[in-house]
Amino acid sequence: MDDLHDALQDAQYIGAVTNALRGPSAPFYTPTQAEMQHFTSFQEQAHGSDWLSLENILHQPLGFYFFSRYCEAEHYGNAKLLFLIEITKFRLMQFDDDRLIQAKSIWTRFCTEAHENSDSFRSNSSTSPSIGYFCKRLNAAQCTNHRIVFWRKGESSLRRIETQQLYRQSACEKSVIGVSGGVFNRIQAILSAFMKLDTNSTRSVSTSSLSGKTSESSPRSTTSSCEVNAKSGREVANMTHHTLRCVFDELEACVLWSLEQLHLKDFLSSVFHRRLMIFFFLQHRPVSENDFTKLRVLGRGGFGMVNGCIKRTSAALYAIKVMNKKIIKQKHAERLCLAERKILAMISSPFIVCLKYAFQTSEELFLVLDLRTGGDLSFHLNRCRFTEHQVRFWAAQILLALEHLHEKNIAYRDLKPENILLDENGNCSLSDLGLAIEVTPNLTGRCGTRGYWAPEMLLRDSNNQRLAYTTVVDWWSFGCLVYELLYGKCPFRTSRAKALHEDKQMAYDKATLELNPLYDPKYFSPEATDFIQKLLIRDPKKRLGAHGVDEIRKQKFFSSIDWARMESMSISPPFVPHNELNAASQSDIGSFDISSMSGIHLNEQDRELYASWAYTSADVFQKESIEYLEWEIRNGPCSLASNSQACCILL
């Protein structure tokens, strides 16, 4: 019967992972009027009366979504919102060459063609967004860490009173974005200068209607169009990255002011705003175990199990880590668990398994995390040999993950193949931050897995005190990992290492301190050998990475890596997992016997320890909410059980 049960759970899990058409199985909760009033009052007290200013609304995906739906329903403001989306894409670009191409596209679409053909722009059905248009557009404006973005505030220092004055000077009803005049002239001049065009050749970017006939001055501008266009080639070449990045700041501020003055008041009294408030309320409402449907067991941790799960209101797939409070108490691991929860809430990287939700029951703690369905590298390493090309790709992504942690002064301390998970496409992510820690000047202690420990974790000073260490310990483990992925075994857990001492654990430690790994040319290229040897320098001050991650990026081993494309995950992985269950069998994973916990009792002090455990990722919740609303538009209300008291929110 156990085998049958496991087979059914395996089939359920595979079905959930491979079913792209799955939909929500439960509606969102509908708050009472009293709950909404209390929520609104609390937000106003906490954030002030302008917590729902237009900028604050549009800065959040849900706010932009509902405001855009309102504009779609009222048939105005669409072009302005499209402009803001294109500006977001413009800001997210990493290279000025790409940014200049996008800037020219924005100029042509919103400042030239739309200005000259404003009537046709308004009436042309092809430019009038359809239902859900903005939800589709946002995918083209994603951040590199895959957070949903509609529009994000820029870093403009333009003050509100200056924006107001600028808008008065530049307002233009004939323009679909409500602005023209001097603001356009300054954009045209800067773009022309960047393209090394003189005033007679600006028609390649613009038309005569925007050749600078208006002469309104900006309250912040000190450079005229002619002055900018007259810059020498040397000055043009020296125009800064900041100049191009900020070229649309004035225009963006005016467009936002136009939306605020013409549309915000009506939006705040609309049904779209009321529904937005409901979802903001739900975002602050803690999730519970009832919000998720558990799938098969995927792994076992020190305090409990890891399962796949489905969020019922969105059908989103996640991993859910369940930790038993009594086991934690028995092992005196409360601080470790609290540190893991804290660190998980600090990070946001596509190369790390990140936290989405956290909640608890009286007996257990829950962490809802990214689900990676491609299995871990240890699972695949036991089934095949990796090429250097494959290892280099994953090593680059792991480097980016460690860089993200180190920027936040976090040491990972548990780097090994078992903790590197693949997604369905073959991209990898660090998982299990249970041993990660914020670095302090006196950080000591052995932590992680023997054979991957850095030497400074093992050594003591002349006073027999443990040596303090930093994030540089991770670069030693990184060298061990790259070696193992190429060779098949950790350099300090080989048969040579085990021969150093009759006790296996002592042998691993002795190997870490004394053994020089062998580099068989069959498995290691000269570049790989040189790279790993520099990472496995025992003196942490001389180890590769001690002076920053850039010195690692510049190694010959990584010479073929396009780091910008790697960071944006736009490189196709060289290894794609099979579309199957990439995990150990449930019988091999085993289970926890909590019967031995009968003598452990939880008291009020234990409960107070986890008082701040609850967590909801705002970006994740808003993404799920938008996906739910779009699904409901296509499929109708989510069906409810006959005895349910809940209510769907239908647009």
The domain that holds 332 is classified in CATH as 3.30.200.20
CA distance 454 to 550: 21
318 and 412 in a common domain: no
How do residues 541-559 score in pLDDT, each as one tens digit?
999 999 999 999 999 999 9
Look at residue 185 and tell me if it is in a domain: yes
Name the DSSP letter for residue 156: -
Q: Which two tokens stand for residue 429?
A: 């992510």
Q: Which residues are catalytic?
A: 414
DSSP 17-51: HH-TT---SSPPP---HHHHHHHHHHHHHHH-GGG
Local confidence band at 648 (pLDDT 50, 70, 90 cut-offs): very low
| Number of domains composing the chain | 3
Q: Which two tokens stand for residue 134?
A: 């903005």
Look at residue 36 and tell me if it is in a domain: no
CA distance 567 to 538: 30
- Percent of the chain at pLDDT > 90 equals 59
Query: 188-211 burial, b for 16+ CB within 10 Å, e for fewer?
Result: bbbbbbbeebebeebeebbeeebb
Q: Mark the binding-site residues for ATP, compressed into ranges.
A: 321
How do residues 579-620 score in pLDDT, each as one tens digit?
766 666 655 565 666 667 778 899 999 999 999 999 999 999
User: Tell me, what's the pLDDT at 510?
Assistant: 94
598 and 559 in a common domain: no
325 and 356 in a common domain: yes
Local confidence band at 246 (pLDDT 50, 70, 90 cut-offs): confident
Mean pLDDT is lowest, of 187-201, 321-335, 602-616, for 187-201
Look at residue 497 and tell me if it is in a domain: yes
398 and 348 in a common domain: no
CA distance 470 to 473: 6
User: Tell me, what's the pLDDT at 140?
Assistant: 33
Look at residue 279 and tell me if it is in a domain: no
Identify the CATH number of the domain in which residue 464 sits. Answer: 1.10.510.10
191 and 225 in a common domain: yes
| Residue 29 and residue 285 in contact, taking contact as beta carbons nearer than 8 Å | yes
Handedness of CA 624, 627, 631, 633 (dihedral sign): positive
User: Tell me, what's the pLDDT at 210?
Assistant: 36
527 and 382 in a common domain: yes
The boundaries of the domain holding residue 481 are 377-581
**Side-chain-facing half-sphere of 521: CA atoms under 13 Å:** 1
Residue 577 has a CB neighbour count (10 Å cut-off) of: 18
**Of 490, 449, 491, 456, nearest in space to 470 by CA:** 456
440 and 351 in a common domain: no
473 and 434 in a common domain: yes
Local confidence band at 5 (pLDDT 50, 70, 90 cut-offs): low
316 and 191 in a common domain: no
382 and 364 in a common domain: no
Look at residue 39 and tell me if it is in a domain: no
Q: For every residue of 569-619, which 3-state class applies, written as one string?
A: CCCCCCCCCCCCCCCCCHHHHCCCCHHHHHHCCCCHHHHHHCCCCCEECHH
Look at residue 37 and tell me if it is in a domain: no
Look at residue 40 and tell me if it is in a domain: no
Look at residue 647 and tell me if it is in a domain: no
351 and 337 in a common domain: yes
C-alpha triplet 255, 260, 264: angle, nearest 5°: 135
Mean pLDDT is lowest, of 108-122, 239-253, 318-332, for 108-122
How do residues 269-327 score in pLDDT, each as one tens digit?
999 999 999 999 999 999 999 999 999 888 888 888 999 999 999 999 999 999 999 99
User: Tell me, what's the pLDDT at 376?
Assistant: 94
8 and 70 in a common domain: no
Which of 581, 600, 627 terminates a domain? The answer is: 581
